[in-house]
Structure formats: structure tokens, C-alpha cells
């Protein structure tokens, strides 16, 4: 499999697509804002003006867009890809989206003699750039094996988690853990600040012990530098937490920790900080404590 279509060239998608181009894949590309695909065009990707047009003769179509409504539009809307693909094409949605939507896509694909996987990722902008993402896949074994070489270009930990929707459910587990860890990172660094400690020195010590995590070691230094540029937007994380909480309610599961962190991130949106990276939660709690961030 060498001919692919790539829909969505944001912070994550652009780097992921570039890795596939560099691995020798022939890529057609679409994004709502063409300028965000300019680097990919320079590297050999061919631009098309709609998702349907981009599918062309692609053997697989990858999508990574913003919200479930965007996934709906890309797959089911006017100029959507479900009715534009040739028989046997594999559809891979890497957006963090609703498990029920992944199941709908899989069912609609089956009716059209297409194959579908939901394959959300974790690892942020650094993982996307380095091809070191964790990829959580929902679907059948044969389709997973068919797509594994491409997944291995994009990530280092690629796992089939179960049938359609299982990848998205796993991503909800991931985002719940990220939320809980992020509040710990932020409160830890606020404590260090108030205690008069050097944040980088604190990170250098606690980031090697029992408190070590991707977040303290990768986003902690950005906080220390006052760098809130997005590796992953707050507004998208709010979306993810909302999906997880809705699924939890459906399963009659109480998740008070996630609910609390969700409220703090909603405060970030209320303050106009939705375009910051998720480490921008530090600014919210700093604001609450009268600390200049």
C-alpha cells in the first residue's frame, strides 16, 4: 500500500502526514485552510479542494480533524469520503472522537464494501514530529495488519484494542489520565514557585523519580519558560473530556476527578485562553492564586 489520502493538516496531522511522505508514500491531501498544507505540497503531496476529491485512487484515507462534527462532515457530508472511495479502501479516523461515531463509520463503510479503523493517538506535537506516537486502534484484525506498516511510521506503540470504537474508548482512558496528571503538574509547579524554588531545577529532580511523567518532563519546562504555545489546544482537550464524561454517564460511572479538571479547563475558555496548549492550565490556577504567569 503506497497511495494514501490525508485529510486534516493541523498541529498533529501535518507532522504525521510528512512522516508518511518521507517514508515513500504517495499522498493526496485536503485541509480547509490550504496554507496549512503548504509544506506538504512542497514535499510532494498533491492538493485537492475537497475530501472526496482527495480520495482519488487512494488505497487508504487518513482523517484527523478537530471535532466529532468535523468527522461527520468529512465522512457523511456533501463531498464526504464514504461515497467517493473505491471498493476495498481503508478509512482510518485518527481524530479523538466519539466511540459511537466510530461505530457508525464502520457500519457505513461495511455497507459500501469499505474497511474502517478508529485510531486516535497520544504523544502530542513532539510525538507526531518524531513518529513516536501511541496509536490505539479499533477494528478487525485483518484491516489492522494491513495498515500496520503505515502505523509504524507514525508511532512506536501501536495496538489493536478491540472492535470498532475500542480505539476511541482507549483514548478516553488516556485523556482521563492526562487530565489528572496535568492538574498535579500545575499544582506542583505553583507550589515550587511560591516556595521560591527554581522550576527547572524542581522538574529536573522530580521528573526522574516516582512522579516522573511525560507531562512534567515535556510540558513542565514549557511552563517554566512561560511558553503556552499549543502542542494540543485547550479547546480540543475540553472536547475530549466532554466526550469522556458523556460516555461515563452513559455507563453509569462517576468520575469526579475528571469533572473537576474539566471545570478548570472551562475556566480557561472563559478567560479567552482556549487556543493555548494544555499546559495553559497553569495560567488558570496562577490567576486564581494571584500569581503572574
Active site residues: 171
Q: Which long-range contacts (CB under 8 A, 24 or more apart) does 175-179 make?
A: 175/96, 175/237, 175/240, 175/241, 175/244, 176/241, 176/244, 176/255, 176/257, 176/258, 178/122, 178/215, 178/237, 178/278, 179/237, 179/241, 179/257, 179/258, 179/261, 179/262, 179/265
Look at the block and give the residue holding cell 512506536: 156
Which set of grid coordinates corresponds to residue 116? 474502517
In the beta sheet, which residues pair with residue 92? 62, 117
Q: Which DSSP letter does residue 280 get?
A: G
Cα 137 from Cα 165, distance rounded (Å)? 8
Q: Which DSSP letter does residue 59 get?
A: S
- The answer to whether 152 and 25 are in contact (CB under 8 A) is no
Q: Is 139 exposed, middle or buried (0-12, 13-18, 19+ CB in 10 A)?
A: buried
Cα 199 from Cα 194, distance rounded (Å)? 10
Amino acid at each position: 500500500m503506497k497511495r494514501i489520502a490525508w485529510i486534516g493538516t493541523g498541529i498533529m496531522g501535518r507532522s504525521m502526514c510528512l512522516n508518511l511522505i518521507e517514508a515513500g508514500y504517495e499522498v493526496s491531501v485536503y485541509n480547509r485552510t490550504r496554507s496549512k498544507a503548504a509544506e506538504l505540497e512542497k514535499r510532494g503531496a498533491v492538493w485537492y479542494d475537497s475530501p472526496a476529491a482527495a480520495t482519488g485512487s487512494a488505497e487508504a484515507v487518513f482523517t484527523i480533524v478537530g471535532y466529532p462534527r468535523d468527522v461527520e462532515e468529512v465522512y457523511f457530508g456533501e463531498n464526504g469520503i464514504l461515497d467517493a472511495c473505491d471498493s476495498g479502501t481503508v478509512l482510518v479516523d485518527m481524530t479523538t472522537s466519539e466511540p459511537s461515531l466510530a461505530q457508525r463509520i464502520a457500519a457505513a463503510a461495511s455497507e459500501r464494501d469499505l474497511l474502517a479503523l478508529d485510531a486516535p493517538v497520544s504523544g502530542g506535537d513532539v510525538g507526531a514530529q518524531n513518529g513516536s506516537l501511541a496509536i490505539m486502534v479499533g477494528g478487525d484484525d485483518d484491516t489492522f495488519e494491513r495498515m500496520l506498516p503505515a502505523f509504524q511510521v507514525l508511532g512506536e506503540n501501536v495496538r489493536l484494542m478491540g472492535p470498532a470504537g475500542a480505539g476511541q474508548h482507549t483514548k478516553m482512558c488516556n485523556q482521563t489520565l492526562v487530565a489528572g496528571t496535568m492538574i498535579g503538574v500545575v499544582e506542583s509547579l505553583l507550589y515550587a514557585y511560591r516556595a521560591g524554588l527554581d522550576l527547572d531545577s524542581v522538574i529536573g529532580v522530580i521528573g526522574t523519580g516516582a512522579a516522573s511523567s511525560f507531562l512534567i518532563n515535556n510540558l513542565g519546562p514549557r511552563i517554566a519558560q512561560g511558553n503556552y504555545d499549543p502542542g494540543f489546544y485547550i479547546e480540543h482537550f475540553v472536547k475530549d473530556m466532554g466526550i469522556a464524561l458523556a460516555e461515563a454517564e452513559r455507563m453509569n460511572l462517576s468520575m469526579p476527578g475528571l469533572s473537576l479538571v474539566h471545570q478548570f479547563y472551562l475556566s480557561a475558555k472563559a478567560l479567552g485562553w482556549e487556543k493555548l496548549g494544555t499546559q495553559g492550565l497553569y495560567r488558570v490556577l496562577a490567576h486564581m492564586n494571584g500569581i503572574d504567569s
